[in-house]
Amino acid sequence: MIPIVTLEGPTASGKSDLALRLAAELGTEIISADSRQVYLYLDIGTAKPPSEDLEAVKHHLTGIIEPSEAYNVGRFCADARKIIQELHQQGKIPIVCGGTGLYVAGLLRGIFPQIPIPAAIRSELKQRLASEGLAALYDELKERDPDFAARISSQDRQRVLRGLEVYQATGIPITRHWSNQAAGSPYRAFRILLDPPRQVLYERINRRIGQMLESGLLEEIKAVLAKGFNATDPGLNSLGYKEFLPHILECADLDECVQLAAQHTRNYAKRQCTWYRKYKFHLTLGSPECILSEVTGHLAAWLD
């Protein structure tokens, strides 16, 4: 089996910094498992590593698609598998780093075969979305597949629709498809979890929002809109961007947008922490400011 390292944890837990240090120590490269960092032009709001870090250690699957495109676990797994194979052939242990739990889970467990969704089901759900609203569909998803609903945001239109269409097409919740899928991942993963105290995490999130604004987040959003992309595109309709669109497009109060962005990000981090409680990790760290030799020591013992 191909050995890989996964570095997981909630947003703002310090994954990127630790991944950079670990990759430099191991002489390897980083594969991003972040559903927002895949987008071009969306750098500040997705907390992409700065250019000097990207130059120091090669990062894969960052800035690879337009903000108008959709990306999903299937595409991620296909892209990541190809890169992992290439790095393995070079004698490198890939580091998969990111907080999108669905992506890492799909990579390690495999994903069930693509289910053909009848056009009538998709059309009906889109009509219901327009007439009933996303909240009503999310409530239905909680009844049909409470486990999947608990793992995603009530505002995640793409995944709410996906959960409902799979259920309607097969009569089986998407989470049961996952549990029924055949085991047989080609990877042997050393899983590291960054799990700082909740209060520390929330303080970092609040601080990061301010730092993003100081770094030019509003200007970044305006520049993307100026390129012809729409507020409803998947990239801009994501956490850290959609909260500021009312200020840019409708002159909403900036302080209120900041508070909303921080609240939504804290809520997202809480859901991520709940997700990680379902899994076992080889190493759990309360802070990214760890002694790197301890991490590599644990990894070396695991490899042996």
At 128-139, the pLDDT tens digits run 999 999 999 999
Q: Is the Cα torsion angle 134, 137, 139, 144 positive or negative in sign?
A: negative
Q: Which two tokens stand for residue 301?
A: 């013992």
Question: Quick one: pLDDT at residue 287?
Answer: 80
Q: Tell me: the pLDDT tens digits for 239-255?
A: 999 999 999 999 999 99
Q: Give the pLDDT confidence of 61-108 residue by residue, as tens digits.
A: 999 999 999 999 889 999 999 999 999 999 999 999 999 999 999 999
Residue 185, pLDDT score: 73
pLDDT one-digit tens code per residue, 144-170: 999 899 888 898 898 999 999 999 999
What structural domains and CATH numbers belong to the chain? 2-111+186-303 (3.40.50.300), 119-180 (1.10.20.140)
Lookup: tokens for 242: 């959609």
Q: What's the token pair of residue 90?
A: 């070079």
The pLDDT value recorded for residue 241 is: 98
Angle between helices 134-144 and 157-170 (to 10 degrees): 50
- The chain-wide mean pLDDT, for the chain, equals 93
Task: Pick left, alpha or beta for residue 175 (phi over 0 → left; psi -120 to 50 → alpha; otherwise beta).
Answer: alpha
**pTM of the full predicted structure?**
0.81
Helices (H) and strands (E) in the chain, counts: 14, 6
The runs of H, that is alpha helices, within 215-253 are: 217-226, 245-250
Cα torsion at 119, 122, 240, 74 (round to 10°)? -50
Q: How much is the pLDDT for 180?
A: 65
What tens digit of pLDDT does each residue of 267-289 get?
Answer: 999 999 999 998 999 999 998 67
* N residues, the chain: 304
Selected residue with higher pLDDT from 234 and 287: 234
Residue 201 has pLDDT above 70, yes or no: yes
**pLDDT above 70 (res 112):** no
Beta-carbon-side half-sphere exposure of residue 108 (alpha carbons within 13 Å): 21
Predicted local distance difference test score (pLDDT) of residue 182: 46
Task: With beta carbons less than 8 A apart as the criterion, state whether 65 and 38 touch.
Answer: yes
Q: In what order do the strands lie in the sheet with 95-97?
A: 59-60, 30-32, 95-97, 2-8, 187-194, 283-285
Give percent above pLDDT 70 in the chain: 96
Lowest mean pLDDT among 44-53, 69-78, 174-183: 174-183
Whether the CB-CB separation of 162 and 112 falls below 8 Å is answered with no
Percent of the chain topping pLDDT 90? 85
